[in-house]
Amino acid sequence: MRDLIATTIVILIAIAIYGYRARILARLKRFDAENVARKEQEMRDRADSLAHFRHTLKLAEEQVEAVNEIVESDPRTATPVTRYVFEGETYATRFEAEKVRQDKIRGLAREFYVELPRALASRGNGKLGRD
């Protein structure tokens, strides 16, 4: 009886996998394409002297929230108006909000490079302070 139940479970799992094979294969193809793109980017980065800055800005951008779009009533005309919110501050245009966001991203990246020499020195790897 136990063998019959185990066989039934295996067959049901196989049917479920077969039913979702298109989704599974699509995700695997996407995963493979992302890996290929990442490896190609790594190869390009080896020849690019500015790649480190680009990666630092990308990491800083991940730490900053996105600009949100809200619709609120204009107090003068009572018509719906689109406003843009970044870090609790409301802006009239997306351009203004994105400018403030980009300034924040650059500030975070700049802080990283200011703290980098101290971090390397505290690591004690022998690269700093020796002739």
Please give the pLDDT value at position 33.
Answer: 95
CA dist 57 and 104 (Å) reads: 11
In the predicted model, residues of the chain with pLDDT beneath 50 are 131
Please give the pLDDT value at position 121.
Answer: 83
CA dist 52 and 45 (Å) reads: 8
Please give the pLDDT value at position 106.
Answer: 93
Q: pTM to 2 decimals?
A: 0.62
Please give the pLDDT value at position 37.
Answer: 94
Task: Name the nearest CA neighbour of 54 among 119, 105, 101.
Answer: 105
Please give the pLDDT value at position 77.
Answer: 84
Please give the pLDDT value at position 127.
Answer: 54
